[in-house]
Amino acid sequence: MFRSSSSATARYVSRACAQRRFASTKTVREVLEEVVPKKQLQLKQLKTEHGQAVLGDVKVEHVVGGMRGLKAMLWEASVLDPIEGIRFHGLSIADCQKVLPAAPGGKEIIAESMLWLLLTGKIPTEAETRQLSRELAEKGELPEYIEKLIDSLPSTLHPMTQLGMGVAALNHESKFQQAYERGIKKSEYWTYALEDSLDLLAKLPALAARIYRNIYNPGKPLPKINKDLDLVGNYVNMLGYGDNHDLTEYLRLYIAIHGDHEGGNASAHTSHLVGSTLADPYLAYAAGLYALAGPLHGLANQEVLRWQMNMQKELGGNITHESIKEFLWKTLKSGQVVPGYGHGVLRNPDPRFMALQQFCDTRPALLQDPIVQLVKKTYEVAPAVLKEHGKTKNPYPNVDAASGCVLYHYGLTQFKASHTAYYTVIFGVSRALGCLTQYVWSRALGLPIERPKSLSMDAIEKLIKQ
């Protein structure tokens, strides 16, 4: 079902376009009220009719290798295929770029249209997208106690630490927690989960922008939220770059395509695990943010940029494919990995990387940027070197190979000192789309607390002998 043919995809996109033109304007809640019962029935039938079906064997390498590739988690909004890459309810990134509404005057997918697709599996109309943008903008102001909390933190405290603290503290506002304490029915959990999720998504730009202001531009006034702008438009405006249309468009694309990458990655899995305890969406996503903060996950794009800039400095002005090849081998022979290459699941170039490359190809200023040029040249050389090296399962670029370099071009240069690196905060604003979508669906489907069985090495050896 996932591996649809190109003709089937074309038909899907065509139907989606028709739906976009003719669907009536509804709120996301009204659409979910129609979709949730169908999904609940689908899950009931899966458990009843196929509960004993085998999806794969558990091997020792799964247990000791971080459960890599083990099919053991339900995640509704997206599926990641090693060859095709990510699909959101069956749609590739290229499909989404064709059918999901952009901002007025823009061309790139916006967070609201991607959120609608992730939550409902349906393509929103332009009117529905604008309505959702308006709702989020109206919910976007931070409570005064959150502003005071963030303002009280030292500017040297890592931005991701501050973001997680702010998100966790917002659970003071949790409608889900309040309703649970009143004793609501399980069938109503998802409605309050949705309220919290929309409230949190709405406030993330103001929270992330306040952290940025306090660290890099202390004392500078923060613009008020503009009710007529989309989520990312307001975010860029509050960061202080509102007059840069290209950066705004880039971050719209970046946040939309980073919004979900199935459930097995560390941040998504962590938020899902914590949410399974019925912790509210704020606490669940705060936990996910701290998983995202690690250098093997969300911190990777700034590691790529640091490596690219070191290469540029060492090779000087005349950078050739041969000199890049020599630098790659130097990196590998020193025992280091080539940052931005390889992926835990993918075995082809990351479609997100390709989408960002296409964005660069349409803008002459980006194409002339030395770092962006170096990213393109590295892509032309690195796969062959990594194949020859033979120690990576995927010699192709992932999204981190390009994302941070474009941010740097547009003036977000704050990445060099690890304690003040900001890039991962932008990733955190993005990944909320998928993690909070799944939180809503986990409550709608009544998923249980996550509790895998652990084994000691002695227990594993005993099972092997048996």
Active site residues: 297, 343, 400
Query: In the 3-class helix/strand/coil scheme, how is the chain assigned residue by residue?
Result: CCCCCHHHHHHHHHHHHHHHHHCCCCCHHHHHHHHHHHHHHHHHHHHHHHCCCCCCCCCHHHHHCCCCCCCCCCCCCEEEECCCEEEECCECHHHHHHHCCECCCCCCECHHHHHHHHHHCCCCCHHHHHHHHHHHHHCCCCCHHHHHHHHHCCCCCCHHHHHHHHHHHHHHHCHHHHHHHHCCCHHHHHHHHHHHHHHHHHHHHHHHHHHHHHHHCCCCCCCCCCCCCCHHHHHHHHHCCCCCHHHHHHHHHHHHHCCCCCCCCHHHHHHHHHHCCCCCHHHHHHHHHHHHCCCCCCCHHHHHHHHHHHHHHHHCCCCCHHHHHHHHHHHHHCCCCCCCECCCCCCCCCHHHHHHHHHHHCCHHHHCCHHHHHHHHHHHHHHHHHHHHCCCCCCCECCHHHHHHHHHHCCCCCCCCHHHCCHHHHHHHHHHHHHHHHHHHHHHCCCCCCCCCCCCHHHHHHHHHC
